[in-house]
Amino acid sequence: MSSDVRHLVDHARPYPLVRLSGVIDAAGADGVRDLLLDVLAEQPEAIVVDVAGVELREPAAAVGVLRQVSRATGDWPGARLTLCDERGEDAWRGSGWVFRPDSAAAFAELGAPRSGNRIRLDLKPEVSAARRCREAISQACVRWGRPALAEGARIVVTEMVNNVVAHAGTAMIVLIATRGDILSIAVRDQSVTGPAYGGGQVSSTADGGRGMLLIDSVAERWGSLALADGKVVWALLAQPRE
């Protein structure tokens, strides 16, 4: 990140609060984007960003980077993005973020995080990792009243985790969450190589390794989010409608 941009991340709040200060210019915009995406990848339910300390010398660069984050996370994490600035909203129009005058108003609007609707697993790149995830998803789908999604979710998480073990070979974070009728699964690793979607036929007897083709056949939507030190691969599964 540019030396002209400073940041402080407060994780002691109900949702992460990021305070930005200094000048967000074209040179520092990528660093700001990476910072915000990194925070969202850790806690994708909501984020509050206080920009009252940002000097508006290059408003186009400042608004542009916020717009990039909004677009990049529109499907996943689908987080509630809130921007705060006691100076007013005018300079930030077009960012795609909800605006509140200060962080107190932002947290009041967001309310308390929903308890029990998220699971996080920190795993090593071991063969047993996929099994642990399948067990966690089976239990969560029963607890959350989503039994119809369990089989598809187990397929998705198996392919995602096995891809990390076989190709990235890094530690991973698996995030499983429910929101409304949607079940989301995301796997973060430390490889910058994006997932490959080759298409074509897959053997019905194959045990894992079928990759994004199989995920595409099961998930409502899927994609990947590039981070400075890796990526997040995500998928959304929808509750079947009667």
Q: Is the pLDDT of residue 1 over 70?
A: no
If asked whether residues 128 and 192 sit together in one domain, one would say yes
Instruction: Calculate ∠ Cα 62-194-37, nearest 5°.
Output: 30
If asked whether residues 140 and 220 sit together in one domain, one would say yes
If asked whether residues 57 and 122 sit together in one domain, one would say no
Band (pLDDT 50/70/90 cuts) for residue 200 is very low
If asked whether residues 122 and 77 sit together in one domain, one would say no
65-118 residue pLDDT tens? 999 999 999 888 889 999 999 999 999 999 999 999 999 999 999 999 887 889
Q: Which domain holds residue 152?
A: 118-238
If asked whether residues 153 and 229 sit together in one domain, one would say yes
Q: Is the pLDDT of residue 204 over 60?
A: no
Residue 136's pLDDT is 97
- Quick one: which H or E segment has residue 115? none
If asked whether residues 90 and 138 sit together in one domain, one would say no
Gap between the Cα atoms of 24 and 58, Å rounded: 7
If asked whether residues 100 and 190 sit together in one domain, one would say no
Residue 21's pLDDT is 96
Q: List the CATH number of the domain containing 141.
A: 3.30.565.10
Residue range 2-7: average pLDDT?
A: 80
Last residue of a domain, one of 64, 88, 110: 110
132-167 residue pLDDT tens? 999 999 999 999 999 999 999 999 999 999 999 999
CA 183 distance to own-chain centroid: 13
State the DSSP code for 124: -
Gap between the Cα atoms of 124 and 28, Å rounded: 33
Residue 16's pLDDT is 96
Q: Provide the domain count of the chain.
A: 2
Band (pLDDT 50/70/90 cuts) for residue 209 is very low
Gap between the Cα atoms of 141 and 64, Å rounded: 39
If asked whether residues 102 and 154 sit together in one domain, one would say no
Q: What count of other Cβ atoms lies within 10 Å of the Cβ of residue 113?
A: 13
Please report, as a single letter, which amino acid is at residue 141: C
Residue 126's pLDDT is 96
If asked whether residues 186 and 128 sit together in one domain, one would say yes
Last residue of a domain, one of 47, 79, 110: 110
Gap between the Cα atoms of 201 and 226, Å rounded: 28
If asked whether residues 19 and 84 sit together in one domain, one would say yes
Last residue of a domain, one of 82, 110, 138: 110
Residue range 52-75: average pLDDT?
A: 94
Q: Whose CA is closest to 236, among 78, 123, 69, 71?
A: 78
If asked whether residues 70 and 159 sit together in one domain, one would say no
Radius of gyration, alpha carbons of the chain: 19
Q: What is the phi/psi pair of residue 210, to 5°?
A: -85, -10
Q: Which has more confidence, 78 or 2?
A: 78
If asked whether residues 126 and 106 sit together in one domain, one would say no
